[in-house]
Chain A
Amino acid sequence: MKSGGSLSIWFFIGLSLAVNGAVILGRGIYELLYPPPEEMRVVLASLHANIWWGAILLMVGLFFSLRYSPARERAREQRNS
């Protein structure tokens, strides 16, 4: 995809999702180990949405980041030129 230089838009998206996913997953694991008091918990806290949603974002983000990494983009451009 011609997207402007060697960095693709999909790389930025992957980076963003991966970082957000890692932070949310980390917070989820922390809350699993050290549960907040009852009155501080959100509705359906027992489902631990921050763990599985953070993990999904992290995986999708890593896929995009690696698939469209600057090194791969440069290699692709060299093959096409």
Chain B
Amino acid sequence: MNVALLWFNSSTLVHLSPVDLIIIVFYFALVLAIGLYLKGQANTGEDFFMAGREMTAWVAGLAFLSANLGSLELMGWAGNSYKYGILAAHWYWIGAIPAMLFLALVMMPFYHICKTHSVPGYLKLRYGQGSQALSSISFALMTVLMSGINMYAMAVVMRVVLGWDIHFSIWVSSITVAIYVALGGLRSAIFNEVLQFFLIWAGALLIPILGLIEAGGWSGLQAKILQNLTEQHVPNPGSYTHLWSTLGNFSDNPMGINWAGIVFGLGAVISMGYWTTDFLVVQRVLSAKDLRSAKLAPIIGAAFKMMVPFIVILPGLLGLALLRDPHTGSLLRLVPGDLAWSPAGRAQGLHSYDEVLPLMLARYCGPGLLGLGITALIAGFMSGMAGNVSAFATVWTYDIYGALINKNASDESKVKMGRWCTLLGVGVSIGTAYLVMNAQSIMDYVQALFSFFIAPLFGTVILGMLWKRATPAAGFWGLLMGTASSVGMYAWVKIDPSAVRYVALSSQAQDQAQNMFRALWSCLLCVAVTVMVSYLTKPKSDAELADLVYGLTPIPKDEHVSVLHSPLFWGTVVAIVFVILQIVFW
């Protein structure tokens, strides 16, 4: 049996031609070449872990966004928009833009001025080693686990879409990431993330353009969705193309959520926690060359983030309107992944929600364009994995190895440790991918665990930055209790499903709605515990909190900068466009 037969089988969604393979192989060659080229520029700790802190606002901003734009993000949210309609766009708009602007204009000065290497590093400076150890160990563990589970899920999708052998996908893509990150450190990861950002857009942008032409524009798309869903007797068919008007009641929309869950759970807690304290994305902004660039980078990221629904959400909606069975001509109805990927589902030719993006890709893209689209998906996966691995290497080296194991480690030994950690991170990720192969439900647990950690961490960090009375003991106990309460609520609902009416305020709440409310309660509890313990314990002196807390940190003014170079000006522009989008799609 030749190699080609090992990779492909006849039941795949799309078939690649030699032209497509040329494009994919060229991509792999280019990312490895970048890693080799940058090898000589990652000799010190600052170079390897912080990319020398010399990235421009554009490079840091695009890498900031690209590290989040993984392939599961692309395919998963396209699938979610098929399932939930345009409500999925909330995760790109209110679930990202306010938080990115808040990071840029309020929090970035503190991160930048204290010259921390990581978010746990900031917690050490602000609260002490207890909070640092708790957050760094949780973060390191969750990062590699998430990386491995994403890798496995990606390999499953590649098997379904392309017929690629699952081991082939896991090993080739992860070894490539390991090589270029271990060689060039964060600089190499960032360079490749910016490249991947362009490839993702080049490969995915054609789908919404051609889709809108076929559907007859936005109004034609709305009419087709309404007609198709009415034909299939789907409840509230009109709610699939409205962003806010169906959020008055839990039962009026396909997600089973109301406006409070979206505004407070997603917009105020989960989004703020992820975009301002998850080191995976914050590390990219910390690499900026100066404070103005560090403030502009998240604003540039926010401007492009607002456009991502065009290549992610719109294809899902187009799928609802246009996808038909090629044999019978009847409407094609996608189903949940576990049903579609079961032997019975495969035998019936069912497709999962997550396959809507590849299905649309195969609908419009012939040889060449198909290769570019598949390259976009692979690039998305690799940028997400490189983000996880480089963040893991930094947190392990500075916040675990350097803080707890070898406090006198030299800069040279830290770089060496960073390179080994990159390989270790990839190795553990591969191990995790194999671990979950026969236990797919673990994915649910780990994704939930990841969200447990992020929501309370935001409460701890934001109180630390804005309230000088917060004490070291309060930071530790607030973080611990917030995380524990989130885990507790998750376990409560698992043991007694009827508890969802208390945790998520509605017995109709779907998984996403439960995540929103659990995050909200755990963050509020973290803040409450932190405030209470702060009043019972001794605070740090003002001198100890200099450059760490609002009011005790002199923030440099952008006095000699024109309006067009001002972060505040561009932040305002992004905020105005954000509001206009909410009104247009209300």
Contact = CB atoms under 8 A, between A and B. Distances in A.
Interface in A1-22: 1-5, 7, 9, 12-13, 15-17, 19-20
A5 B210 contact: no
A24 B369 contact: yes
Residue of A2, A16, A45, A47 with most chain B CB atoms under a 10 A cut-off: A16
A25 to B, nearest CB: 8
A75 interface: no
Interface residues of B, number: 37
B483 to A, nearest CB: 38
B23 A42 contact: no
A50 B372 CA distance: 11
A12 B187 CA distance: 14
B209 to A, nearest CB: 8
Contacts of B289: 2
B365 A42 contact: yes
B213 A47 contact: yes
B187 A4 contact: yes
B202 A1 contact: no
Contact of A50 (B56, B194, B368): B368
B34 interface: yes
Interface in B358-382: 362-369, 371-372, 375
B34 A3 contact: no
Contact of A44 (B34, B54, B59, B210): B210
A55 interface: no
Contacts, number: 94
Q: Which among A2, A27, A45, A47 has the highest number of chain B CB atoms within 10 Å? A: A27
B27 interface: yes
Interface residues of A, number: 32
B535 interface: no
A27 B213 contact: no
B191 A12 contact: yes
Interface string B161-202: 000000000000000000000000001000100110011001
A23 B198 contact: no
A42 B26 contact: no
Interface string A14-41: 0111011001101110010000100001
B41 interface: yes
17 contacts: A2-B54, A2-B56, A5-B40, A9-B191, A12-B191, A13-B194, A13-B195, A16-B30, A16-B199, A23-B22, A26-B368, A42-B363, A42-B364, A45-B366, A47-B213, A49-B364, A50-B366
Report, nearest first, the 8 A-B pairs whose CB atoms are least far apart: A27-B368, A24-B368, A42-B366, A2-B54, A9-B191, A27-B19, A43-B363, A4-B41
Interface of A: 1-5, 7, 9, 12-13, 15-17, 19-20, 23-24, 26-28, 31, 36, 41-45, 47, 49-50, 53-54, 57
